[in-house]
Structure 1
């Protein structure tokens, strides 16, 4: 029996990718999605155009196992939860290079512009055995726009929508016999809306956002077996936000109109060298640099600004070899991160070295995959993590998969060294995860039903007695996910739903984890027209003793293609104007607002 030939007659339901799709993130090298046991979701550039979302967090919120905790208008801070784990427990990469703030341990999702993205891969489950720290919930990898070798191209695009949302951009693809290049630049702006229900004078305003972003990618085929690639993406964003004034630890109405703002500059660069040693052996090396520079300002006196600038340097070497049904890989990562700040940290630099290996093999209907990694960090010593999975083909197309793995999250610089809060005795969080899944692939689509459990110990929080960082809790997350995707003629159906029970060591529910989420989308292609509608809903989200309410929001969209690549499109989100919230601040007793009904029209023209 051929392990990867599936009957086209079987009805199927997927993780938003076709059976022939190739993924990189699950194994750290390219394999068909059918050959990875992980729960993987792939979003293509076509998906981005169909949903027409304005920010990365909103787009990811449509996916199985993902929920979004927003703090208001476009550009505000967002926490993307993956299988109930927080942003600091998820690895985020751009073209293979991390993108994270050393001070908070989280990624600025608002600073990553969708305009520069070509593809997103999301792997759910423990990934520390491949990626090291912060891989408890999974990994989100963004791939920026790459050169198109099929043709040279120049394009412009623009959008306008509610809250005076406007976006303008331009880009090009250029290729010679051995060199390909692509670049683009975009500006995005909006007046926004009032982010919170805080009623003090300084917060009775709209919270605007503007962003410049750009991307450059160059590939050069040095020889038939050697490829050199360069990628660079950066953005500069300014976001207004609401904030309470304080008398000691008590929030009070602000007596003056303060224009609170955050200026965030992100950049991510990589130099990649790929070498095909033989038909079954591949070597790759990558050098990377990333920056997360955040400045908080009251809009009055720059002397009062606070700055937190992370600069990271990475070097990776990976060797992979396939012999028959056996694939193996070994690699090493070296990461150095530096923190510059207006705050005086006790330590401002740390280095991590990780060595890892993975093995994948199939014998008839059985499959076995495993990975092991050893990390040595200058701040918290050493950690060893591993993942083991097995699979069995019940029929030619129906497969059962079981996996188990360990992972950890590294304490941030704030948790280790922030004055009067950090404690350098804080240890990394540790987790054990188990998953059992059924999945099926066919020519028209795929589906996956997954049940999982994540047990995390040494959770880092604030000690109630000393008000300093400490390992004070544990958590248990139980989840059930169903992903479906099916192509039927001119119709494309996508559906996912997630049930989650996330509790702490006292058996109390964790904040901001909805008990149930669902997303359904239907698209219909009629000649040059594409019509699509989607419904997104959730129930059971709480914050402390406050229930945030259930909701269902309807989206409607249409796109017309009048020539190759050139399109006109329109989108209405929350078409029924549902009044809902997804976040609450118990300290100020205020809610974070959502946008209500919004519209957007867009055009893209290729010369």
Structure 2
């Protein structure tokens, strides 16, 4: 942490001679977020590093998948087994994909068999915004939130009647259509969306693919989805809200020469919640939800059949204003059940019950956030986690932060029981995490520096027959700069340097690059908007012994939009403009140069 200390001193000296300034209007410091503390707060009040991806940025990233959209943000890398609709995951600050929790409107979504969020089949047209919170959040959310949380918020009603639609066509036979409406009147509000996408694709693998899986055919992806959100204002400020998201896809993948391997995907989230005030300064929320992930292999070399995960969730949250801050109480229960083709696993269901408390407060220049949680897993017994964060406003522009947290992550069903692959003797991982940060804001500029350290005890290795190794450690430094200038110019840049190691053999953790650079430049000229985004990722390794190298790569995307009328826009996206060949997983291709032309109505 010596580097972090020197950065604190340097930034502090600079801030002392800075003049007072206005808020950073070009960024989202005033945006209200829910994920960082499970209660509403402005981004500038959060002590964790928070990113909000709004609808405009999602549209600017047209043609990219959800994991690619996330990987364009600071501190996130991704790997994918091909293009759209293929198995993909993200790594937050060098941690495993299973160390990131995915929420959809507050509902946990992912695979209990694979133990990772399922990003492959979620339609971006249904998304209003995405919140990303980095840092250990097990004390608020329980297992899986080791490195952070990604929460997707679907579209909701708006006063009056608003329609939106989109038509797009592009490389590899891409055809996309989406339409929806948002409405609110009196106590009612509603949002409905329909999406359809067809993509003929490209070969998911190349000649380096392992186990003889390469098949030089096109591996396409078709998807149809619907999202519905209803709201009803009751007496006082009580509110009832229902959510339904159902996405069905069919993806082709390579499973050996001459075989048209295919799988049908289904992603479903259903929830019903009520929220309101019990007394002055005392609010509560009740939620019942069900999340379903299905992968039905229709054709495959290793057999066919349905693999499914169901999570039935109940939660009860209380927010109570106190003299020392806002107090959060959480009680929740998650029943996970799984099924697979052939003989069932030795254990096919488990229940996790969690009880947590949090406190978020401030007084003059001081900010504090505390949390503690006790989880009981029907397979692994009880686990206690905690976290503490403190922020100090050194002056009008500069805030210093320090935080500590503990975490745990239970093995997934595949790691435990998959035939000839799993290890039923695995135990949960336990981690400790530390972070030091500085955030400097002046005018339309924001600079952020964060030094962090993750130490995982009983780290579960990747691949066949996983084991708990004594310890893995990840040290990192993140630098970020956001700025805007007169003339419509804006810049967003970040650089991460990581040292992610398995300390039992002093090797780099698989698929983690030590460097990740991102630059995004955009200019708004009224009816015209144009921009470029560059993402550069260093070398990494596919295996634990670091003998299978994944070369680093640099990808440049270009985009332009012409607003034809207040409600109409025509956009053109050129992804991977330099036509770079690269892999994020050994033997699996990523898209070369691609274009997408989009006609959009409304927002």
Tell me the TM-score normalised to structure 2 length.
Answer: 0.91
CA distance in 1, matches of 2:522, 2:271: 36
Residue 204 of structure 2 corresponds to residue 204 of structure 1: no
Change (3 A) 1:573 1:11: farther
Q: Is the 8 A contact 2:247 2:266 kept in 1?
A: yes
The equivalent of 1:298 in structure 2 is 299
3-state SS of paired residue (2:508): coil
Give the alignment partner of residue 559 of structure 1, picking from 561, 567, 571.
561
Correspondences of 1:456-471 after superposition (within 5 Å): 456-461=456-461, 468-471=465-468
Correspondences of 1:368-383 after superposition (within 5 Å): 368-383=368-383
Q: Is the 8 A contact 2:213 2:254 kept in 1?
A: no
CA distance in 1, matches of 2:139, 2:592: 42
Q: Gaps spanning 5+ residues in structure 2: where?
A: 1-17
Give the alignment partner of residue 493 of structure 2, picking from 489, 492, 495.
495
Residue 481 of structure 2 corresponds to residue 480 of structure 1: no
Change (3 A) 1:564 1:180: farther
Residue 145 of structure 2 corresponds to residue 148 of structure 1: no
Give the total of aligned pairs: 577
CA deviation vs aligned residue, 1:86-137 (integer Å, no higher than 9, x gap): 1111111111001111111012211111111111111111010000001111
Q: Is the 8 A contact 1:272 1:287 kept in 2?
A: yes
CA deviation vs aligned residue, 1:507-543 (integer Å, no higher than 9, x gap): 1111211111111111111121111111111223233
3-state SS of paired residue (2:186): coil
CA distance in 2, matches of 1:47, 1:73: 21
Correspondences of 1:285-364 after superposition (within 5 Å): 285-298=286-299, 304-323=303-322, 326-343=325-342, 344-364=344-364
Give the alignment partner of residue 552 of structure 2, picking from 550, 553, 576.
550
CA deviation vs aligned residue, 1:120-162 (integer Å, no higher than 9, x gap): 111111010000001111111111111122x302232111111
3-state SS of paired residue (1:109): coil
Correspondences of 1:139-218 after superposition (within 5 Å): 139-149=149-159, 151-198=160-207, 203-218=215-230
The equivalent of 2:246 in structure 1 is 234
Change (3 A) 1:578 1:33: same
Tell me the TM-score normalised to structure 1 length.
Answer: 0.91
Q: 1:299 Cα deviation (Å)?
A: 6.4
CA deviation vs aligned residue, 1:433-476 (integer Å, no higher than 9, x gap): 0000001345535332100000111122379xxx6443235211
Q: Is the 8 A contact 1:449 1:480 kept in 2?
A: yes
Q: 1:17 Cα deviation (Å)?
A: 4.5
CA distance in 2, matches of 1:459, 1:333: 26
Q: Is the 8 A contact 2:205 2:214 kept in 1?
A: no
Residue 104 of structure 2 corresponds to residue 102 of structure 1: no
3-state SS of paired residue (1:203): coil
Give the RMSD, CA atoms, in angstroms: 2.2
CA deviation vs aligned residue, 1:182-218 (integer Å, no higher than 9, x gap): 1111111111111111387970201111111111011
Give the alignment partner of residue 95 of structure 2, picking from 85, 104, 108.
85
Correspondences of 1:494-533 after superposition (within 5 Å): 494-505=492-503, 506-533=505-532
Q: 1:395 Cα deviation (Å)?
A: 0.8
The equivalent of 1:271 in structure 2 is 272
Change (3 A) 1:317 1:459: same
CA distance in 1, matches of 2:384, 2:548: 39
3-state SS of paired residue (2:163): strand
CA distance in 2, matches of 1:162, 1:115: 19
Give the alignment partner of residue 219 of structure 1, picking from 220, 231, 235.
231
CA distance in 1, matches of 2:108, 2:259: 34
Q: Is the 8 A contact 2:28 2:52 kept in 1?
A: no
CA deviation vs aligned residue, 1:289-322 (integer Å, no higher than 9, x gap): 100011123269xx94132111111111111122
Correspondences of 1:400-411 after superposition (within 5 Å): 400-411=400-411
Give the alignment partner of residue 568 of structure 1, picking from 555, 570, 581.
570
Q: 1:411 Cα deviation (Å)?
A: 0.8
The equivalent of 1:250 in structure 2 is none
3-state SS of paired residue (2:145): coil
Q: 1:13 Cα deviation (Å)?
A: 8.2
Q: After superposing the two structures, state which structure 1 stretch, 416-425 or 90-99, moved more.
A: 416-425
Change (3 A) 1:491 1:223: farther
CA deviation vs aligned residue, 1:265-291 (integer Å, no higher than 9, x gap): 010111121102345321111111100
